[in-house]
Amino acid sequence: HKVEKLNKLASALYIAAHPDDENTRLITYLSNHEHAETSYLSLTRGNGGQNLISNELDDVLGIIRTEELLNARKIDGGKQYFSTANDFGFSKRPNEAFNKWQKNKILEQVVYTIRKTQPDIIVNRFDHRTEGNTHGHHTASAQLSTLAFNDALNVNKFPNQLEKLETFQPKRLFFN
């Protein structure tokens, strides 16, 4: 499998808000069938979610969900990344998330991940145009990804990153 991956130069970055938002089937397909370098960027660690099977909540729940994602990537062959966005519970609109997350700070982290992984394609789990139809974190993750898609190539956006990384433009942006 690792030798076959050497013959493929494709790469993909999947972006969503929470640890349970990723499409594991797609990550598995891209990584194992297409032999693409595949990564998942979860903006939060899931510490603000519900827990119906045990008593862990808040930071302890975030640790459990972080470990779940790291172990999932061992199985599906992807790489795992996180931002520092806090999962503060349910929000109706992306602006609620942006206010708590410090939008520019998280955008900078998404741009950094794009510049670091240099994906050919980015796949958003959620639609950036559906404000109010889903959890505000979900829409916010897609809106940040859409902004970062172009910002990763812009030398004026987060120039401090360019000491270690190069600007980069993915070829396509998809909604899954």
Q: What is the pLDDT of residues 34-47, one digit of tens each?
A: 999 999 999 999 87
pLDDT at residue 99 in the model: 93
Residue 176, judged by CB atoms within 10 A of its CB (0-12, 13-18, 19+), counts as middle
Is residue 164 within 8 A of residue 111, CB to CB? The reply is no
Q: What is the pLDDT of residue 61?
A: 79
pLDDT value, residue 44: 94
pLDDT at 57: 62
Cβ-Cβ contacts under 8 Å for 4 (sequence gap 6 or more): 35
Phi/psi at 82 (nearest 5 deg)?
A: -135, 155
pLDDT for res 3: 72
pLDDT at 114: 98
* Residue ranges in the chain modelled with pLDDT below 70: 1, 5-6, 48-54, 56-58, 132
d(CA 153, CA 45): 27
Would you tell me the crossing angle of helices 103-117 and 94-101 to the nearest 10 degrees? 90
pTM here is: 0.91
